[in-house]
Amino acid sequence: MPTPEPQSVTLTATLDATLIDDGAGSKANGQGTGLFAGQTGSSGRRRALVQFDVAGSVPSGASITSVSLGMTITRANGGARDMALHRVISDWGEGASVGGGPGGGQGSAAQSGDPTWLHSNFNSQFWATPGGDFSGTQSAVTSINNDDEVLYMWGSTSQMVADVQFWLDNQSQDFGWIIVGEEGQGRSAKRFASREHATAGSRPRLTINYTQ
């Protein structure tokens, strides 16, 4: 039997958004050019959601061998901070909101379909836990510094490989990852380029290596 040929594909995000901790679940940033994670000081926590259509680009039955997530920093505070990936376990949407401030980090009024701190889909569906429903297991962690237009990578880890394999085998449960920064640690928030960023090469991307 011939050895399976290794294959590789790089995907761009199909959905992304920022969860904004405003207490009321009324603010969102679905279409802003930035994704935020960490603590913004007086305006609260931010968490970034990002999703890729794995089953749409990787053949059914393939075996995932390695993966890496690339995100470009466009603004940062607070020096080097760890940013952890967790697999999201509930469906969520992306509405038409564009938050105020550079990249949308201040949020704006949530629109239909937006995820908020309380809603997975404004305003008809709620997270079971405010701030997003996600696995308690970290899929990967990377340290993000105060950089501008620098690409940071997560992976490949065994848990990231397991996540992507799960999404391939269970397409209906492909809800992507959430990026959780160091919260309660002063001004630690980082801004990443979103899929709406003007520079295509700065947008979130997932590289998957597999055999079939």
pTM of the model: 0.96
Contact, 73 vs 191, CB < 8 A? Answer: yes
Q: In whole numbers, what is the pLDDT of the chain averaged over residues?
A: 94
Average pLDDT over residues 50-55: 98
List the domain boundaries for the chain.
Answer: 6-211
What's the pLDDT at 109? 97
Mean pLDDT within 96-113: 91
pLDDT tens profile 135-191 = 999 999 999 998 889 999 999 999 999 999 999 999 999 999 999 999 986 788 999
